[in-house]
Amino acid sequence: MNAIGKKKAVPILSVRDLKVHFTLSGTGLFGKERKLKAVDGINFDLFPGETLGIVGESGCGKSTLGRAILQLIPPTDGQVIWLGRDIVGAPHSAMQPLRRDLQIIFQDPLASLNPRMTIGEIIAEPLVTHKADLGKEEIKARVKRMMARVGLLPQMINRYPHEFSGGQCQRIGIARAMILEPKLIICDEPVSALDVSIQAQIVNLLQELQREFDLSLIFISHDLSIVRHICHRILVLYLGNVMELADRDSIYAAPKHPYTKALISAVPIPDPEIERNKERIVLTGDLPSPTNPPSGCVFRTRCPFAKDVCATDIPTVDTINDHHQVACHFHERM
């Protein structure tokens, strides 16, 4: 089923006006507290078996959003509706059984693994926590099966993380996330620390596991070429705000937001002739501080099409059609 067809299904996850604000202490004797709006009112649905890509520059709030969905960071406001239930503010006792279906794969594969545990112990830990009724032999058998499924030799079960390459460590992380057969995995830049050839192997593995287990994925990345390959829909973030949300084909063929256009124009094309002649949009200036964002449209200070209204009015997220949303005052001219 394609992404548009999935929209007829009931969402497995709904995020409504989600905000994550941090209070920073002032500097100096009379420094004032400042608000850092890492995530500032995000809305989207995720459907069974779908992959939603979240893209944007470093510091735009991608990882914070992922952690807030999993309640690893407490949201300031909004809703995270998982299988029809709002889990924002849920106590630990209520979240614990939900963790079986909500997993995460981290960016740095080696740093996410406990160096004092064997990989067998690392992969088995979720089973020990959530399936205490299983015997040791059954846990060991399940760990070995999952190791084989992600491309690791089962006889490596007693080795330690430092004995593996980066790609192998990420396979260990995937096995740990998959051992409980969850419904949702948030992939927080899972291939950015890997070589290009290994990136392709990990992405293909995730797609195979998705088809096999009917997984829903949230794939966080700054690499739009990988996102285009794996994701059904793409959410573009800038300073914690949604700039554009659309299915993959629409967003690459006809992006409506200037920021999305700039991101896509930076993706290299293998054909040298096309690469030389393609339109390039070069953004000037740096990402503004999230503690002091621009008034109006947060992207206006770097937007080549900004007008006076962009400095005074915050653009609403307009729905162009069933599968394309954009937050820009002048998207009809793009």
Instruction: Walk me through the domains of the chain, giving residue ranges and CATH numbers.
Output: 3-101+182-333 (3.40.50.300), 109-181 (no CATH)
d(CA 290, CA 35): 8
Q: Would you state the structure tokens that stand for residue 244, as one six-digit string?
A: 């554009």
Tell me, what amino acid is at 35?
A: K
CB 54 within 8 A of CB 233: no
Residue 227, CB-side half-sphere exposure with 13 Å CA sphere: 27
- Close Cβ partners of 34 (under 8 Å, ≥ 6 residues apart): 23, 24, 26, 291, 292
pLDDT per position as a tens digit, 229-254: 999 999 999 999 999 999 999 999 99
Nearest CA-CA partner of 320 in 240, 241, 261, 256: 256
The residue ranking higher by pLDDT, 7 or 122, is: 122
Return the pLDDT at 265: 86
pLDDT at 47 over 60: yes
**Three-class SS state of 156:** helix
Return the pLDDT at 34: 85
pLDDT at 120 over 90: yes
Confidence band for 186, pLDDT divided at 50, 70 and 90: very high
- Our measurement of the distance from residue 116's CA atom to the centroid of its chain's CA atoms, rounded to an integer in Å, reads 28
Return the pLDDT at 3: 45
Give me the mean pLDDT over the 144-154 stretch: 97
Nearest CA-CA partner of 183 in 66, 70, 85, 101: 101
Give me the mean pLDDT over the 300-313 stretch: 93
**Three-class SS state of 148:** helix
Nearest CA-CA partner of 307 in 288, 329, 324: 329
pLDDT at 260 over 50: yes
CA distances from 299 to 48, 305, 306 (A): 32, 10, 9
Confidence band for 8, pLDDT divided at 50, 70 and 90: low
pLDDT per position as a tens digit, 77-116: 999 999 999 999 999 899 999 999 999 999 988 899 999 9
d(CA 264, CA 160): 40
Averaged pLDDT score across all residues of the chain: 91
Q: Which residue has the tokens 């999230």?
A: 290
